[in-house]
Each structure stands twice: as C-alpha cells, then as structure tokens.
Amino acid sequence: MRVLMVPLLALEASLIAGCAVYPLPQDSAGVKTKDIVANIRCQARRAVRRAAINTLESFKTDYVTARYRGFELARLLDSDDTNWDRFSKINLFTNKKARDLFSYYATSLVTYEFTLRMTEENKQGAGVDLARQFLRRVDRIGIGATEGRLRDNSRIFSLHDTFYNLATGINNDYCKENPGVDFVFPTRGHLPVEDLIDTYTYINEWATLDKANNPNFMGTPKGPATRQMADTITFTTKLTVINNPTIAYNPVGYGFFASGVNFTNENSRQDLHKVIVTLTTTDVPDGRGDFKSASPLPPDALRKSGEDAIVSVRSKNAQDDLSMIAQSISQFNLLVP
C-alpha cells in the first residue's frame, strides 16, 4: 500500500491547488472592470474632443467667442487639456452658428453595454500503474482519480455619456493612459471607439452640410444623416496550461509493484469581452421645420434613449447571427452528397 501514498498525496495537493473560486477580469487580463470602462470612455473622450477641435478649425479666422477666432481656440484646446474647463460653457460662443452647432451635439448620447464573461476550468488528478511479472506474461492494473472544476461568471452592465460630459466632465487624471494595441486582451488596449465617433460626426456634419466637397448622405441642415450608429466589439481570449508528468520504472520481485506514476494538471481560462457602443442623437423638432438640442432632457429619458438603442442593436446582431447560421447550414447541405 505504500506505493499508493505518493500519487494519492500528489492528487490531494493538486486538488487543493486547482480550487480557484470566483473568476474576475483581473485574474488573467490584469485589469479590473473599472479599468476596462475607463479605457473605452477615455478613448471616446479623445474622439469627441478631436471632433470639437476640427469643428472650431473649420471657422478659421471667424470669431467664435468674444476673444478667440476659430483656429485660435482650436489650437488652445489642443495644446492643454486643462483649457477645456475654461470653455465648457456653450453660451460663451458669440458666433451663433458655432453655438447652435455645439448645442446640437452636446446631448448626443454614447451608451456602452459591457458583457464580461470569465470561464475557468481545472482538471487535476493522479494515478498509479501496478504490474505483476510472471514467467510468460505481465499483468497490469491502473488506479487513479481525477477531479474537474468549472466556474463561470458573467458581468453585464451599461453606462451612458453625452458628448458634452465626455468633453468637459471627466477629470484629466481619469484619462492619463493612452494605450496601444493589445493582442492578448484587446479591451485593455486601443479599441475602434474613436473611429466610430469620427465616422458618426463626419457623416452627420461634414459629409452632409459641406455639399460642395462631399456627398450628401440624405442628411440636411434640418436633420442628421443618421440618428444612430453602433459598434459591437467582441474579443475572446483562451489560455490553456497542461502539465501531465509521468514516471515509469521496471519493478523487480514477486507480487504487484508500482511500475509508473502519472499526474494530471490541466487548467484553462477563457475571457469573453463584448462591448456594444451606440451613438444616438437626442434632437427634437422645433416646430419650424428644424431640429434643436433636446437639452435639458431628464436623465431617465436620456437613459431610456440609450437603452432603446442597445435593444435595437442586440436585435440586429441576433438577425445577423441567424443569417450566418442559415448560410453555414446552406453551404453544408451543398457539400453533402
């Protein structure tokens, strides 16, 4: 029986070592949920600020405030983040076109829905091979035990920002990091949020109103080309570690002896990070054939607008998924004789 003690003790140790408890993003990605949220919000802030600077530059030498021309204020905001606090009031704009433009986009809503799913699987065990040698044959018996554990945690929540809040309401210390591309855990690196906001503002503003140089996407000065745009960003990262050592030897003597000891230690971790980002205009008809900012919109109504946008995107994603499944089945049927 002594030959069984080594693998059994190893089994007990491996089972204890495999007892991870509650999977969280920081276990493998090295960043907490709040860091993932800050990363994507700060990238959205950079995009909104860049759009505002580009808009100011378009006024060139025209005065947009009592003191600054368009290109001067753009240069001032671009040079120092702290200047955004000084020019956070839209009523500082003396140029009516600039004031109306910034008022209109101030309430554009950014809604994020985060789905962070962490799955961890552990498999530990040990075994022993017993051999009994006869003159003409060898009898072998294998004894072992394996335990598997599977833990899964899904964290789902949504947040809302307005363009105005992103540009002026976030503390600069909150956005110190400027991440690069992260190939292992993309949600802690650079994401396509900036491109989404750039495209949204371009289609709704530059490509709509500047008809002399850009195509008109069915938008007019009285209404945007698109009232909703969204990205669904999904990343899955799986890490697997396998360590299955085996010890084998030839026993000498009569009776059953241990001829080999094997250990099982397999651990895998899968992180699915899914973020839906929607951009929604919150303008309302002014009764004269034009549109104006919906501000001040009650917070509950603003949040409902964002939640409705998320539901709409989820529905379209589900339709796309069904279409892809149907297409795969159709292709499979064509391949099967």
pLDDT tens digits for range 119-158:
888 888 887 776 666 556 666 676 777 777 788 888 899 9
**What is the per-residue pLDDT across 209-229, written as a single tens digit (0 to 9) for each?**
444 444 444 455 556 667 889
The pLDDT of residue 6 is 45
Is 60 exceeded by the pLDDT of residue 334? no
Say if CB 25 and CB 31 are below 8 A apart: yes
Determine the residue type at 69.
R
Q: What is the DSSP letter of 223?
A: B
Q: Which has more pLDDT, 2 or 326?
A: 326
Q: Which has more pLDDT, 273 or 287?
A: 273
If you write DSSP's letter for every residue of 258-300 in order, what string do you get?
Answer: EEEEEEEEEEEEEEEEEEEEEEE---EE-SSS-EE--PSPPHH
The pLDDT of residue 114 is 92
Which of 42, 286, 276, 74 is CA-nearest to residue 169? 42
What's the predicted TM-score (pTM) here?
A: 0.74
